[in-house]
Chains A and B, each alone.
Chain A
């Protein structure tokens, strides 16, 4: 648990612990399936980041503070470090190495045929840019992982991002790369960080039409989300015919998440890994790596949403009704709010959204617009290229 910004910061590593514990409490996670992640090597980090940025992060790694360092504010701001979002903490370089190491190991397991599916919940840090930390992310393990695939396995990668925030760091890293297709569903950048992810961002050069963005209106609910996700994922998978699927499973689009304005319930978090699993078997002989990501309601939302990914991966057949009592009692000690008792959310958990119809309609139009270009462009391009 090295990735720790400090008390009060919404990005909290307890999330992963709680998820693992939940699965163990219900007897669905055998110890033999848990691997200790390795640290990524520095040359692997450099696949996704500029040397000067990595050197800078390293230079503040030990101290964990700027005390005694003659680092000027401007430099910090330039590197996106030491900000309110991404404060400095001890071991921040090594924490980044570990998150990336977990993702690299998950990818290797799957591509070396040692496992069909792998899950690395510390990964999924989709905002970090080549020379800059951003949005709680220091190193972009996803970019590093995908570059690793391109370099060592030469496979076509479909990346799908259902975090409530646009997957900007990953999109820009592969914007002109036709071997990587990125699909991001997110709350529209008109309202939410980072501001990008409009329908018209479709890639450039050889990568044109291999970037797909489905922006969603604030207060989007399950039905509209599931429809957008299902339709776009199926269509993109069909045209791109990936060799491996990488999912970023940020769980911050839930109605109880404090940072965003999407209104999903557990119904969506049930469906998200289900479809990824189905399409991975349909197109990639099962090759599927799932990563974590955002998710800032750590007690009520994230453990349930992330446990469902694992349960989907092991083809869990049991009924999911109430959560294990032991688990609830254990974690209740750490929080004064109510920990949910059931896997699903209540029937009508929030007041009816007044603009529901307009919101769904707008999402539908965006979806159509986003897919229009891939249905024409991708077919044509793939015919030429592969």
Chain B
């Protein structure tokens, strides 16, 4: 999956000449923690984040009689930005957010701001990937970490004409094994589990006492 598929494109932005007061108001109204600063051609110049504002000592609760809020956003925005492109893989975007401990990644194409992606968007995608978006049952198998092992497993599913909804493969406790989580579009998994066991696979869910 690439960034383009999940990035937010309905963007709120401000010009560098806007006041901090305006920026804070937009952020509060739309419940945003980051606000990109762009010029008239939508080139990305900087970002204002609620964290930056706090660091600057801007008290958003004392909005009224605070002269500092009349300063231009250009005076407080971060300009040393890490950006992504629409074609980045989501895992690359996630790695950037994680590595630089930032909350959002502006997505830029030909200098223009085209989207934004936040940690929440990525988390949401992860929930989608690992969860069940269609009625399905979970089967978990402990498999040896050897080439071609998925083939005999998926063959069992094909033989029973069972539709696989999602597959997740991650390392087991030891290096020689992996754990394979398959969500299958069926309520009754008795027959498939029995066949998998007969073929010698170590089915760890459904678990029996």
Does A194 lie within 8 Å of B138, measured CB to CB?
no
In the complex, which of the residues B132, B137, B187 has the most CB atoms of chain A within 10 Å of its own CB atom? B187
CA distance A85 to B185 in the complex (A): 9
CA distance A193 to B186 in the complex (A): 7
Does B187 lie within 8 Å of A194, measured CB to CB?
yes
A-contact 0/1 string along B136-155, CB 8 Å cutoff: 11100000000000000000
Chain A residues 1 to 32 lying within 8 A of chain B, measured CB to CB, are: 10
Does A77 lie within 8 Å of B138, measured CB to CB?
no
Does B206 lie within 8 Å of A261, measured CB to CB?
yes
Chain A residues 155 to 205 lying within 8 A of chain B, measured CB to CB, are: 165, 168, 189-196
**CB-defined A-B contacts under 8 Å, sample of 16:** A10-B190, A83-B161, A84-B161, A85-B186, A134-B135, A136-B187, A189-B132, A191-B138, A193-B186, A195-B132, A195-B135, A195-B136, A196-B132, A259-B187, A261-B207, A353-B209
CA distance A10 to B163 in the complex (A): 20
B-contact 0/1 string along A250-269, CB 8 Å cutoff: 00000000110100000000
CA distance A136 to B188 in the complex (A): 9
Chain A neighbourhood of B190, CB < 8 A: 10, 258-259
Cβ contact of A350, chosen from B186, B187, B206, B209, cutoff 8 A: B209
CB of B160 within 8 A of chain A? yes
Besides the contacts A85-B187, A195-B134, what 18 more A-B pairs have beta carbons closer than 8 Å? A83-B161, A84-B186, A85-B188, A127-B135, A135-B135, A189-B132, A192-B138, A193-B136, A193-B137, A193-B189, A194-B135, A195-B136, A218-B207, A258-B190, A259-B187, A261-B206, A350-B209, A353-B209
Could you tell me which B residues sit within 8 Å of A by CB distance? 131-132, 134-138, 160-163, 183, 185-191, 205-207, 209
Question: Separation in Å of the A163 CB from the closest CB of chain B?
Answer: 11
Q: Interface on chain B toward A: helix, strand, loop, or mixed SS?
A: loop
CA distance A77 to B184 in the complex (A): 13
Q: A77-B163, A350-B209 are in contact. Are A195 and B183 (CB under 8 A)?
A: yes
CB of A321 within 8 A of chain B? no
Chain B neighbourhood of A189, CB < 8 A: 132
CB of A351 within 8 A of chain B? yes
Chain B neighbourhood of A190, CB < 8 A: 138
Does A165 lie within 8 Å of B132, measured CB to CB?
no
Does A168 lie within 8 Å of B188, measured CB to CB?
no
Closest to B136 in A: A195
CA distance A135 to B207 in the complex (A): 20
Question: Separation in Å of the B188 CB from the closest CB of chain A?
Answer: 6
Chain B neighbourhood of A84, CB < 8 A: 160-162, 186, 188, 191
Q: Considering the complex of A and B, which 8 residue pairs feature the smallest CB-CB distances, nearest first? A: A195-B132, A194-B135, A135-B187, A193-B137, A193-B187, A85-B187, A134-B135, A85-B186
Closest to A82 in B: B161
Does B138 lie within 8 Å of A10, measured CB to CB?
no
Chain A neighbourhood of B160, CB < 8 A: 84
Does B138 lie within 8 Å of A195, measured CB to CB?
yes
Chain A neighbourhood of B163, CB < 8 A: 77, 83
Q: A194-B132, A261-B206, A261-B207 are in contact. Are A83 and B137 (CB under 8 A)?
A: no
Question: Separation in Å of the B206 CB from the closest CB of chain A?
Answer: 7
Closest to B135 in A: A194
Chain B neighbourhood of A77, CB < 8 A: 163
CA distance A195 to B187 in the complex (A): 10
Does A194 lie within 8 Å of B136, measured CB to CB?
yes
Chain B neighbourhood of A259, CB < 8 A: 187-188, 190
CA distance A83 to B185 in the complex (A): 9
CA distance A191 to B187 in the complex (A): 11
B-contact 0/1 string along A132-159, CB 8 Å cutoff: 0011100000000000000000000000
CA distance A108 to B95 in the complex (A): 59
Chain A neighbourhood of B136, CB < 8 A: 193-195
In the complex, which of the residues A129, A168, A193, A353 has the most CB atoms of chain B within 10 Å of its own CB atom? A193
Chain B neighbourhood of A261, CB < 8 A: 206-207
Chain B neighbourhood of A193, CB < 8 A: 135-137, 186-187, 189
CA distance A351 to B208 in the complex (A): 12
Chain B neighbourhood of A127, CB < 8 A: 135, 187
Chain A neighbourhood of B138, CB < 8 A: 190-192, 195
Question: Separation in Å of the B103 CB from the closest CB of chain A?
Answer: 22
Closest to A260 in B: B206
Question: Separation in Å of the A131 CB from the closest CB of chain B?
Answer: 13
Chain A neighbourhood of B209, CB < 8 A: 219, 350-351, 353
Chain B neighbourhood of A168, CB < 8 A: 135
